[in-house]
Amino acid sequence: MGKVIIELQDIVKKFDGQVIVDHLNLTIYENEFLTLLGPSGCGKTTTLRMIAGFEKPDEGNVIINGKIFNNLPAYARPINTVFQKYALFPHLNVLDNVAFGLRNRSFKFLLSFFNEEELKKEIIQEKEQKGQNNKKITKLDLHKKINEKIIEEAKKSIELVKLSGFENRKIDQMSGGQQQRIALARAIVNRPQILLLDEPLSALDLKLRENMQYELKEIQRKLGITFIFVTHDQQEAMTMSDRIVVMKDGTIQQLGTPKNIYNEPQNRFVATFIGESNIIRGTYLEKNKISFMDAIFDCMGYTFNDNEPVDVVIRPEDFDIIPKENAKLTGTVTSCIFRGVFYEICADVHEMEFVIHAYEEIEVGKVIGLNVDPYEISLMKVNENE
Amino acid sequence: MNDSYKKLAKPYEIWLYIFALFPALVMFALIFLDTEGINLSEASLTFGNFSQLTESSTIIAFVNSLKFAFLSTLICAILGYFVAYRLFRSKFKNKFLILTILILPMWSNILLRIEALGNVMQPNNIITDILSKIGIHIGIDIKGTSVAVLIGLVFTYLPFMILPIYTALEKIDPSLEEASLDLGVTHLKTFWKVIFPLSIKGIVTGSIMVFLPCLSGFAIPEILGSGNIVLIGNVIDQFFRNMNYNIGALLALLILILILGAIFLVQKVDKEGETLL
């Protein structure tokens, strides 16, 4: 992994005495797409707002590029945000919205943003083309050039989000999906090191949302900047992220790649929040042997104490339906619903309801046998609090 | 809309016909007539009334009116914006209570308030009395000056400015300000580039609501100006008192046209009437 860009050290944030973020530690790397995932009220948006500079942590440090940023105001951070409801300026048109960030910066900032030397070179070239002998570059020349550059950059950014031709439209003449894109263009035009996205897709319909997911990922790859994405939609998180942070009650439940989190959930919350799962109490007999529901199964890759009780997680799609004569587990089908690609079967197994995904329809009332491959079984430490 | 609901507006509609539309038509007719009072028996058609418009007394009163209305609107806009902005920024929970307190004086009779204000503007009044009891001898004597009239106008119409500005400010999505800060724009610049442009609606609405009554009012200049300050409202008042209904009607209709123009302007700026409460 690349260089560390953000470090959250032991962050605590309270609102009216209520702990929203609880001793959170997180390291974020350059160029990664990190998603904060969790149900509403889990502290993900608050964490994002502390990185953006809209909230100050009560305890702990926000470290960006190795410097403590706790008290630095939002406008001084190399960070831009795409807001949940876009927060586009209704009194400006599309181009002015996108150019807003650059236009209102100081002259000094803009000189270094556009690289003063290059600006001067371009001005001299233009003067030569026009046949002017006056080689002296005035401040006015620079201002003019910078204004040109800002519009150029804004147009480039608008092109990147595929809205060319809409520059002069008013904001309220744009659809939700288009507004979403403008918000994105307005943020990336400033070339931030870090882009924060606060549930930006939640207001879009399903089809549009799926398209935007791919586009966001594509843009992130193209620009090579760190994206920190907040969502409560696990599907969204899975599709886009390099790493996912699953949060609940202000603490991190699990941090890992989408695959890692899906296949090896560390606790009941993660197992149920990300995808569907069947969770069964079992006993870790010895290395690679696990017993649950009066049967012994092979498993692999987990180490617990012998005879320690564990929670067994089996995803619905990981069950194989086999003839009941050869099966260690049998169950009676209680319902079978067509879900498009697969059938969702509910079966009563040892008085527990299992959810199974299968490609064939099975009639209700039939007794089926179930098998699970050793690598499909994931185990979690039992936590009595859950 | 359902027809049966339309009937609910009928009584007021009739009221309007009798007490607004009909008098307006009468006034319109009076402009072109020369009558003795309201007695139409010896009326004769004439355009002579219009010559009053070029009389220097009318023009002076009109210019005075515009001057006072413009100045008080400006002062109200500045003071009103400060108050509205302060209230908008305050973390106080019950902002409605503060607004109510601001409107509270409007519930007492305007003439009483102005008389009381005029009293304070004279050297001997209850406040100087009380102050002199504890050894402070100050008193002002500004009644009858244009400053007094201006103070009276601002004092009376300031709430009409605060309310629409406050409403406009409250309607600004707080995330817009965050978005601006997030884009690297400082607080002060954010105010001028985001907050202020979005609150202009409120200023325009408030300005019209202050400008119009200042332009046409006659009680405040009459009382606080002690007759020294003559505005167009006072001129109209004089003509009507002297039973010269023809010229009175002409000047009054002129003001009416100005008012209609102003309302048209508000509708252009604030299409949904958001800031009109």
Q: Is the pLDDT of residue B141 over 80?
A: yes
For all residues of chain B together, what is the average pLDDT?
87
Nearest to A89 among B176, B186, B187 (CB): B176
Residue among B176, B184, B193 whose CB faces A87 most closely: B176
- The reported pLDDT for the residue numbered B103 is 82
How high is the pLDDT of residue B274? Answer: 58
Nearest C-alpha in A relative to B183: A101
Strand order in the sheet with A378-381: A295-298, A289-292, A278-286, A308-314, A378-381
Q: A27-36, A193-202, B38-47: which has the minimum mean pLDDT?
A: B38-47
Q: A278, A346, A348, A266: which is closest to A318 by C-alpha?
A: A278
Any chain B CB within 8 A of the CB of A85? yes
Residue B138 has pLDDT above 80, yes or no: no
pLDDT surpassing 50 at residue B153 = yes
- Residues from chain B that touch A105, judged by Cβ atoms under 8 A, are 184-185
- How far does B264 lie from chain A, in Å, by closest CA? 21
- List of chain B residues whose C-beta atoms are within 8 Å of the C-beta of residue A85: 173, 175
Q: Which residue of A has its CA nearest to B198?
A: A91
Phi and psi dihedrals of B152, rounded to 5?
A: -60, -45
pLDDT of residue A386: 55
Average of per-residue pLDDT values in chain A: 90
Cβ–Cβ gap A101/B197 under 8 Å: no
* A101 in B contact zone (CB under 8 Å): yes
pLDDT of residue A197 exceeding 80, the answer is yes
Chain B hits for A87, Cβ within 8 Å: 173, 175-176, 178-179
Partners of B197 on chain A (C-beta within 8 Å) are 91
Interchain proximity B184–A85, CB inside 8 Å: no
CA distance B179 to chain A (A): 6
Query: Average pLDDT, stretch B72-97?
Result: 92
Report the top-level CATH class of A4-258: alpha beta
A74, A84, A186 ranked by CB distance to B181: nearest: A74
Assess whether pLDDT exceeds 60 at residue A235.
Answer: yes
A190 touches chain B (CB under 8 A): yes
Give the mean model confidence (pLDDT) for residues A227-251. Answer: 92
Pairing type for strands A343-349 and A295-298 reads unpaired
pLDDT of the residue at A1: 63
Q: Give the closest-approach CA distance of B261 to chain A in angstroms.
A: 25
Q: By the CB < 8 Å criterion, does A107 face chain B?
A: no
Q: How confident is the model at residue A7 (pLDDT cuts 50, 70, 90)?
A: very high
Name the band, by pLDDT with cuts 50, 70 and 90, for residue A130. Answer: confident
What's the whole-number mean pLDDT along residues A336-352? 90
Enumerate the residues of chain A whose CB falls inside 8 A of the CB of residue B91. none
Percent of all residues in chain B with a pLDDT value above 90, rounded to a whole number: 36
Residue of A nearest to B180 (CA): A101
What whole-number distance in Å separates Cα of residue A167 and Cα of residue A185?
A: 12
- pLDDT beyond 60 at B275: no
Chain A residue nearest residue B186, CA to CA: A75
pLDDT tens column, A60-83: 999 999 899 888 999 999 999 999
* pLDDT for residue B277 is more than 70: no
Q: Do B194 and A190 touch (CB under 8 A)?
A: no
pLDDT of B147 higher than 80: yes
Q: Does residue A40 sit at the B interface (CB-CB below 8 Å)?
A: no
Chain B interface residues (partner A, CB cutoff 8 A): 173, 175-176, 178-187, 189, 193-194, 197-198
Confidence of residue A381 (pLDDT cuts 50, 70, 90): confident
Residue B49: strand, helix, or coil: helix
Architecture of domain A276-381 in CATH? Answer: Beta Barrel (2.40)
Looking up tokens 């200042």 gives B214
Q: For A298-308, what is each residue's pLDDT tens digit? A: 888 888 888 88
pLDDT of residue A294: 85
Assign B44 to helix, strand or coil.
strand
A15 in contact with B, Cβ within 8 Å: no
A313, A265 Cβ separation under 8 angstroms: yes
Say whether pLDDT at B30 is over 60. Answer: yes
Judge whether residue B1 has pLDDT over 60: no
Q: A281, A279, A301, A299: which is closest to A290 by C-alpha?
A: A299
Burial tier of B146 (Cβ tally within 10 Å: 0-12, 13-18, 19+): middle
Q: Do A75 and B182 touch (CB under 8 A)?
A: yes
pLDDT of residue B2: 65
Q: Is pLDDT of A15 > 70? A: yes
* Of A190-204, B175-189, B233-247, B261-275, the least confident: B261-275
Structure tokens at A262: 């899906």
Closest approach of chain B CAs to the CA of A83, in angstroms? Answer: 8
pLDDT at B271: 65
Residues in chain A with CB shorter than 8 Å from the CB of B178 are 54, 74, 81, 83, 87
Q: If you average pLDDT over residues A16-32, what whole number do you get?
A: 92
Nearest to A73 among B181, B189, B197 (CB): B181
pLDDT of B13 > 80? The answer is yes
What percentage of residues in chain A have a pLDDT greater than 90? 52
- Kindly determine whether residue B179 and residue A81, on different chains, have CB atoms separated by under 8 Å: yes
SS3 track for chain A: CCCEEEEEEEEEEEECCEEEEEEEEEEEECCCEEEEECCCCCCHHHHHHHHHCCCCCCEEEEEECCEECCCCCHHHCCEEEECCCCCCCCCCEHHHHHHHHHHCCCHHHHHHHCCHHHHHHHHHHHHHHCCCCCCCCCHHHHHHHHHHHHHHHHHHHHHHCCCCCCCCCEHHHCCHHHHHHHHHHHHHCCCCCEEEEECCCCCCCHHHHHHHHHHHHHHHHHHCCEEEEEECCHHHHHHHCCEEEEEECCEEEEEECHHHHHHCCCCHHHHHHCCCCEEEEEEEEECCEEEECCEEEECCCCCCCCCEEEEEEECHHHEEEECHHHCCEEEEEEEEEECCCCEEEEEEECCEEEEEEECCCCCCCCEEEEEECHHHCEEEECCCCC
Size of interface A-B (CB pairs under 8 A): 65
Q: What pLDDT, on the 0 to 100 scale, is given for residue A324?
A: 85
Query: What pLDDT, in 10s, does the model give residues B239-272?
Result: 888 888 888 889 999 888 888 888 887 777 766 6
Instruction: State how far the Cα of A360 lies from the Cα of A196, in Å rounded to an integer.
Output: 43
Same fold, A4-258 and A276-381: no
In this model, does residue B29 exceed pLDDT 90?
no
Domain boundaries, chain A: 4-258, 276-381
Residues in B closer than 8 angstroms to A76, CB to CB, are: 184
Kindly report the nearest CA distance between residue A183 and chain B, in angstroms: 10
Predicted confidence at residue B43, as pLDDT, reads 73
First-to-last C-alpha distance (Å) of chain B: 24
Q: Are strands A343-349 and A18-29 parallel, antiparallel or unpaired?
A: unpaired
- B24, pLDDT greater than 80: yes
Residue of A86, A100, A107, A172 to mutate when probing chain B, most B C-beta within 10 A? A100
Distance CA(A267)–CA(A225), nearest Å, equals: 32
A35-48 pLDDT tens trace: 999 998 899 999 99
All structural domains of chain B: 62-173+202-272 (1.10.3720.10)
Q: Is the pLDDT of residue B44 over 80?
A: no
Compute the average pLDDT of residues A182-189: 93
